[in-house]
Amino acid sequence: MRRTLLLLILLAGSLAAGAVRTDSLTLEIGRRIDSVRNGYAQFLERSQLGLSVYDLTADTAVYACGSRQHLRPASTQKLFTAVCALSLLGGDYQYTTTLLALPADTLRADTLASAPPPANHWHGSLAVRGGMDPQFGRQDLQTFVSAVRGLGADTLDGDLILDLSMKDGLRLGWGWCWDDDDRPLTPLTYQGRDDFARAFTDALAAAGIVLAGQVRESLSPVKGHTLSQTRVSIDRILQRMMKRSDNQYAESLFYQMGPSRQKVAQRMLSVLRSAGVDMEGNEVADGSGLSLYNYTTPASLVALLRHAYRTPPLYRHLQPALPLAGYDGTLSKRMTGGPACRNVMAKTGTLTGVSTLAGYALAANGHMLAFAIMNQGISSSGEAHRFQDAVCQALCRPLVCTPAADLPDPAQDPLPLPDESEEQLTAPL
């Protein structure tokens, strides 16, 4: 009995010690972030800051500053798009663009001939059902041309029908600026441009195939025969969307979830609320973060990252797509040294006056942290990058439980930062 009581006392003591240690580590990270903020006091006085850090391993909040402020996410909006698309579509989802051969009775009346067509004519139409694949390019087009040549004709008596029904007819996003140099939102593109019809008809002509009919937009009949189909995995889309922050790829994924912005936003909000992400007052305006109407909070971003981390089918697709500090994507020239190098996986975001960073950081004690840093009202994205990088270095630096007076000052520690040109800093990420 005495031995059992002693074991219980020792166990209670060890648990208490563990709790104290966890609290001490949390406090140390908090002191380090405060020290970084002090080192950037002048920058932060002139702008807004929203910051949230959560220890996923210990399942506890670590730090919060303005974490409930509604701020513009810029390209960290792509995190919401990625997680919701993976939740609704699944990690095995594939984009498809389909070429259909339509029988003669689908032709318009003015294209019908009273006499049987010559042997080298094919009396029917072609239809292409767009899947909003941003990667559709030369090789895909040649695959379609080869399928048409398989019909054994050098003249097509019918039309080329472009089926753009997977989304509404709006070609620009809600809240996009008139001077944004971005690609139109259409289900059929060639090499990322709204140029599919010309490219396809030119490729047919180069192969010696004449299109006698017209190019027109319409729904493709259900009874059409599939000649060819291209497929692209969601992982290939995520890689470029996240690592290179490609807005067109993000919008293409956004519209895989529904035909209009309103319907997609409703579905995303439903997924996020079911996942426990507080979306009160948040606005989903597009999939890329290009819109000035997007609003979210650091707390919402961290809750999203927490949900993804705890859901293996989501995390195993999201994590490899995130830029790795000092190694690739939009973080290849940031945090190229120090403890944050290759220990931070995060999505960048840049708009005029806005700089954001949100993702995961591996602390030196092996704990995985989720964080979101949102700077708004800034005049220099370079200064915002340096502040964000300093916070990440503080999160990843070895944690030693020492008295507060003996702790190193992160603001005084050398943080290796890239020498970036102004052109690089102003590029939309």
Least confident segment among 140-144, 175-179, 390-394: 175-179
Do the Cβ atoms of 326 and 334 come closer than 8 Å?
yes
Tell me how far apart the alpha carbons of residues 336 and 326 are, in angstroms, rounded to a whole number. 4
Whether residue 110 has pLDDT greater than 50? no
Selected residue with higher pLDDT from 16 and 345: 345
At the fourth CATH level, the homologous superfamily of domain 94-234 is: D-Ala-D-Ala carboxypeptidase C, peptidase S13 (3.50.80.20)
Minimum mean pLDDT range among 95-99, 179-183, 321-325: 179-183
CA atoms within 13 A on the CB side of 341: 12
Q: Cα–Cα distance between 210 and 155 in angstroms, integer?
A: 5
- Whether the predicted pLDDT of 10 surpasses 60: no
- Quick: pLDDT tens for 140-168: 999 999 999 999 989 999 999 999 999 99
60-65 and 215-217 strand pairing: unpaired
Instruction: Give the model's confidence band at 105: pLDDT under 50 very low, under 70 low, under 90 confident, else very high.
Output: low
Mean pLDDT of 19-47: 84
**182-187 average pLDDT score:** 84
Structure confidence at residue 17 (pLDDT): 33
Which range is least confidently modeled, 2-11, 58-67, 147-156, 162-171?
2-11
pLDDT digit string, tens, across residues 242-272 = 999 999 999 999 999 999 999 999 999 999 9
Domain 31-90+237-426 sits in CATH at 3.40.710.10
User: Residue 283 has what pLDDT?
Assistant: 96
Least confident range of 195-199, 217-221, 234-238, 321-325: 217-221
For residue 320, pLDDT beyond 50: yes
pLDDT of 377 strictly over 90: yes
Q: Output the average pLDDT for the chain.
A: 86
With cut-offs at 50, 70 and 90, classify the pLDDT of residue 181.
low
Q: What's residue 120's pLDDT?
A: 80
What average pLDDT does this structure show over 64-70?
97
DSSP string, 380-424: -HHHHHHHHHHHHHHHHSPP----GGGS--GGGS--------HHH
Does residue 299 surpass a pLDDT of 70? yes
Phi, psi of 60, rounded to the nearest 5 degrees: -150, 145
- Per-residue pLDDT, 4: 43
In the chain, the percentage of residues whose pLDDT exceeds 90 is 74
User: What percent of the chain has pLDDT above 70?
Assistant: 83
Give the C-alpha separation, 107 to 10, whole Å.
85
At residue 215, the pLDDT reads 96
DSSP letter at 95 equals E
At 402, the pLDDT band (50, 70, 90 cuts) reads very low
Q: For residue 22, give the H/E element and its range.
A: helix 2-39
Crossing angle of helices 77-89 and 298-309, rounded to 10°: 40
* Local confidence band at 117 (pLDDT 50, 70, 90 cut-offs): low
Distance of alpha carbon 13 from alpha carbon 217, whole angstroms: 74
Q: In sequence order, what are the beta bridge partners of 210?
A: 155
Q: In sequence order, what are the residues at sequence separation of 6 or more whose Cβ sits closer than 8 angstroms to the Cβ of residue 49?
A: 37, 65, 66, 373, 374, 375
Q: How confident is the model at residue 118 (pLDDT cuts 50, 70, 90)?
A: low
Using DSSP's 3-state secondary structure scheme, residue 318 falls into helix
Q: In the chain, count of helices (H) and strands (E)? A: 12, 13
Backbone angles phi, psi at 212, to 5 degrees: -80, -25
pLDDT > 60? residue 113: no
Domain ranges of the chain: 31-90+237-426, 94-234
